[in-house]
Every structure is written in C-alpha cells, then in structure tokens.
Amino acid sequence: MLRAKERTEYAWSRVLQSLGHKIQDGCAKVLVLSCNDFPIALRQCFLYFGLYPELPNGNIRIHDLLHSLCVDLAEESNFFHTEHNAFGNLRNVSRVRRITFYSDNNAMNEFFRSNPYPKKLRGLLCFTKDRCIFSELAHLNFKLLQVLVVVMSQDGYGGFTMGNKFGKMSCFMLSAIGGALSPVPTALEVLKLKFCNESSEQINLLSYPNIVKMHLNAAMRLNCEAFPPHLVKLTLVYLTVDDHVVAVLKKLPKLRILKMVVCEHKKEEMDLSGDGFPQLEVLHIQNPLWLLEIICTDDVNMPKLNKLLLVDTKCERSVCLSDRLAKLRI
C-alpha cells in the first residue's frame, strides 16, 4: 500500500496522521492504515459489518478486532452508532444517522426517550427477543428512516404491525421464528423476510404494491395469487414451488432476476414453456428438491433470458435441461 502511494508530501502526511490515530492498539493501527486507503464506497461496505453483533450472524463472520475497528471508525465519522456509544453525549443523540441495538429493548427505549423525534435517523437495526418491538416504536416519528432490520431470537408468532410512522422507509428486513406482517409502508421498495421455523402463516404478497426487490426465506406455502407487480428481483428460499407458483411468476411484467434456493418442487419436471417471463434475464436455481428436469420448448418464452445458473452442491443427481436452456447455462 505504501509503495503505491504518490510521492507527494500531502499523501505521506496522511500516512503519518493515520499512525497517530486515537486507536492505541498496535494491530488496530495497522488495520486503520489499510481501511483509510479504501475507496469511499468500499470503506462504507466494510463499516457496515460493525452494525451486527460480534457473534456470527448467519453468514456474517468477522474477527473481533475488525469488528471493534468498524465500530470505532463509524462513531468517529458519524456513519453509525451502537447502543453503547450513543449515550452520554446529547450531540451524538441528535446527529445519529444509523444506530444498532444488540442486547434488549431497554437500551433502545432509553435512546428514543432522549430523542423522541429522530430527525436524522436513516437506518435502525434491532437484535431483540421482544416481538412487541413495533408497538414500542409506533409512537415515534421516523420521517427519514429508510432501512429497518429486525432480527428476533425468540418466538415471533403473532402479528407485526408497523403502522404509518415508517412512511418513507424503502427497505425492511425481518428475521424471526414465525409470524405475519401487516401493513407495510406504501413506499417500501425492498423487503426481506425470514421465518426460521416452519410456519402455517401465509404471506399476502398483494400488500406490498411498490416492492422491486423481495427475498422470502421460510418453510411455508406461498399465498401467491399475485406477486407485487413491479418486482425486478425475486429470491425464494426454502419455499414450495408448484405449477401454480410458476404460472404466477411468468406473468410478472418487470421481473429480471429470479433465484430459487433449496425450494421444494412438487413435480420432478418444471415446464417453463409458453408465453411468459417477458423481461427475465437471469434464472438461478440452487439445490432444488425433487426436481429432475427443466423444460423450455419454444423461443417465444423468456425472450431476454441470457444466463441460467444451475447449482447442486449436493451432487446427488443432475437436472436435465432442454436444448435452449443448456446453451444458456453458465
């Protein structure tokens, strides 16, 4: 990194300043040097890791030194705050743009009691055991909130009512044991739902009219007489996909990317022939259950399809493809 630096006094002065960073740990000083040299977009991506707890969260794994560094750097730059560093400083409370709560709702309630009108808050992450979180937030006014992430570690069965105080929110992610969510803000554009246990609840997908990206991860049947009409990207994980679901998906006028991961197929053959998928460009199928053949016998269907990803990491059997699909496989 140093060898690639410009041979100017300004560039090397910045290196010297980085060595004097307030982080005293020797390893952290070295890490800070590298982090400061990231492009701005990449640096922000790196700092986002600090929004999650130190313990591994799903597929997110990061060394505790790096995690601490993310939190410290984010606080310095006001990129985000945690429940531990947002208190005791009224200036911090008023200027917070993103905040994460790792422990319980007490810290979150205390924060919002001191800041009932979080005018600058853009992102809120909650790792909680309390399914009443939405009712506790309902009295607050989140005028500029764009991203809400809720990860629940206990029984989440029951309704999650968000109310109308989240009107500007464009991205919502919920990870819970089970339950149903309604209603949602009309401005919502990105929705990610994960239910960790098999649930008999059905999701009314018509409740989300403006969604363009949707990720559904649940051991449940879809109540899908129709998907949101403006969907561009759809990811289905651990869901049952039958002929009816495929027929509904074909009618989506703007869908460009369709990904199905470990989905249970009710028939050994999935027929994609016939008029449909007018904008689909990428079809990604990973570890399908019971699926042995994918058919597309005409060129009218899926006119814009240019990539087919078929991945079976279990390698128990190979899925047969019709000629046209075989040529598009990458």
Report yes or no: 160 and 132 within 8 Å, Cβ to Cβ: no
97, 101, 105, 110: CA torsion to nearest 10:
-50
Burial 210-219 (b: 16+ CB within 10 A, else e): ebbbbbbbbe
* The two three-digit tokens of residue 14, written as one number: 């910045």
Alpha-carbon gap, residue 17 to 100, rounded angstroms: 29
Alpha-carbon gap, residue 93 to 78, rounded angstroms: 11
Cβ neighbors of 207 (< 8 A, separation 6 or more) are: 182, 183, 184
Global pTM value? 0.79
Q: How many beta carbons lie within 10 A of that of residue 325, not counting itself?
A: 19
Q: What is the pLDDT of residue 59?
A: 57
Alpha-carbon gap, residue 149 to 58, rounded angstroms: 14
Q: Give the residue from 265, 257, 306, 266 showing the smallest Cα distance to 284.
A: 257
Q: What is the pLDDT of residue 214?
A: 93
Q: How far apart are the first and last CA of the chain?
A: 35
| Residue 171, beta-bridge partner list | 147, 190
Alpha-carbon gap, residue 170 to 145, rounded angstroms: 8
Digitized pLDDT (tens) for each residue of the chain, 330 residues in all:
778 778 888 778 777 766 554 555 667 777 887 787 788 889 989 998 888 887 657 556 777 788 888 888 888 888 888 877 766 555 666 678 898 988 767 788 878 877 777 778 889 998 887 767 766 676 777 778 888 888 876 657 455 556 556 666 788 888 875 555 556 677 789 988 887 666 555 666 777 788 999 998 876 666 666 788 899 999 999 988 999 899 999 999 999 999 999 999 989 999 998 889 999 999 999 999 999 999 988 777 899 999 999 998 776 568 999 999 999 999
Phi/psi at 173 (5° precision): -130, 130
Domain extent listing, the chain: 232-330
* The two three-digit tokens of residue 63, written as one number: 């060394």
Q: What is the pLDDT of residue 170?
A: 82
Q: What is the pLDDT of residue 96?
A: 81
